[in-house]
Amino acid sequence: MFEPDPMPARLLLSWYDAFARDLPWRTPPGSQARPDPYRVWLSEIMLQQTTVAAVRPYFAQFTARWPDVDALAAADDDAIMAAWAGLGYYARARNLLACARAVSLRGGFPDTEEGLRALPGVGAYTAAAIAAIAFGRRAVVVDANVERVVSRLFAITEPLPKSRPTIRAATDAITPVMRAGDFAQAMMDLGATICTPKGPDCPGCPLNAGCLGREQGVAAELPRKLPKKPRPDRRGTAFLALHDGAVLLVRRAGRGMLGGMWALPDDGWAAGQDGDGMAPFTADWTRADGTVDHGFTHFALSLSVMRAEVATRRNLPEGQWWPLDRIAEAGLPTLFAKAVRLALCDTAD
């Protein structure tokens, strides 16, 4: 469908050599030093559906505390989940630990897409990115930025997601054998800084001369997307129980929403259902003013918060009592951290 064309890669790599973003998981463009596969893998997992700005402090914290894959593999599950808190998409954290242990057990990362895809939590895109960036393999790396750049460059007007096979074929046609990792990162940088979703800087783009979307006057409209289905609204209730200056936290089930995380007890809300509003145990519950509104990928949640002082810790759900003055250290998911703040703010008032 698309004839191989080396020109876009030449132009793009020249631009990348001059304007590459300085990111802590990268080596400079054209460097003879091989990127650390651990840092490449860690960054790619963290960057899934997450911005570079949000990832930077987490990446710094993780690499300072666990400088290599063996250190991460030996880490306690709770420590990893707590360190990940606030970054979202918590299945990534569980897969991160499982993958680290698999890699440590085999003595290092595999250096091929096929081998990488066999690891927990490593899908097609992530395997291609690691193979290209960490090991210099020629791999077709397509993320959201690349989808946008290639859709515009080739004027691919079929809406996503149906256009993905065409986008991949077009990307394959311009992916070089040499400097495949730099090319993949250059495409990401171009999409993040020049070929942006809104107001693309076409005059400043190194690929503008051959961009069919620009020539046809449709670049800013691409890629086209099918209308999204509206997210359903869900309702639930969280329960903040206090005793002797500590708050009760419970472990959520290993699978499902926020799986394996410490959280406040709740009324059983889930992605596909509202909570039943029932408290997990009897206490003198009072409702905090307001709700916590939180967006998940497939639904929006409005969470009410109940609080109570309990006279004893006996006959309550199994969990841990965390000192309230150190609650920020508990590694709560953002939703439940908001719920605690709402309850405490209401108490202070």
Instruction: Kindly report the three-state secondary structure assignment for every residue of 267-316.
Output: CCCECCECCCCCCCCCCCCEECCCCEEEECCCCEEEEEEEEEECCCCCCC
Look at residue 78 in the predicted model and tell me its pLDDT. 87
Non-local (6+) Cβ contacts of 341 within 8 A are none
Write out the chain's pLDDT in tens, 349 residues. Answer: 788 899 999 999 999 999 999 999 999 887 778 899 999 999 999 999 889 999 999 999 999 999 999 999 999 988 998 899 888 888 898 899 999 999 999 999 999 999 999 999 999 999 999 999 999 999 999 999 999 999 999 999 999 999 999 999 999 999 999 999 999 999 999 999 999 999 999 999 999 999 999 999 999 999 999 888 888 999 999 999 999 999 999 988 877 778 888 899 999 888 778 999 999 999 999 999 999 999 888 899 999 999 999 988 888 888 999 999 889 888 898 999 999 999 887 544 4
Known active-site residue 318:
no
Look at residue 348 in the predicted model and tell me its pLDDT. 44
44, 158, 221, 329: which one is catalytic?
Answer: 44
Look at residue 90 in the predicted model and tell me its pLDDT. 82
Q: What share of the chain is helix, strand, coil (3-state, %, to 5)?
A: 45, 15, 45
Evaluate whether 88 touches 257 at the Cβ level (below 8 Å): no
Distance CA 94, CA 320 (A): 20
Look at residue 346 in the predicted model and tell me its pLDDT. 52
Evaluate whether 316 touches 281 at the Cβ level (below 8 Å): yes
Q: Domains in the chain, start-ordered, CATH in brackets?
A: 7-221 (1.10.340.30), 233-348 (3.90.79.10)
Q: Which two tokens stand for residue 162?
A: 């149906």
Which of 84, 168, 146, 147 shows the shortest CA–CA distance to 121?
84
Look at residue 258 in the predicted model and tell me its pLDDT. 83
Distance CA 162, CA 143 (A): 15
Look at residue 349 in the predicted model and tell me its pLDDT. 40
Q: Which two tokens stand for residue 314?
A: 């006996």
Q: Helix 124-135 to helix 180-193 angle, to the nearest 10 degrees?
A: 120
At 181, is the secondary structure helix, strand, or coil?
A: helix
Other beta carbons less than 10 A from residue 122's beta carbon: 25
Look at residue 120 in the predicted model and tell me its pLDDT. 93
pTM: 0.83
Which of 244, 239, 238, 237 shows the shortest CA–CA distance to 310?
244
Which of 266, 241, 233, 253 shows the shortest CA–CA distance to 335?
266
160: which DSSP letter?
B
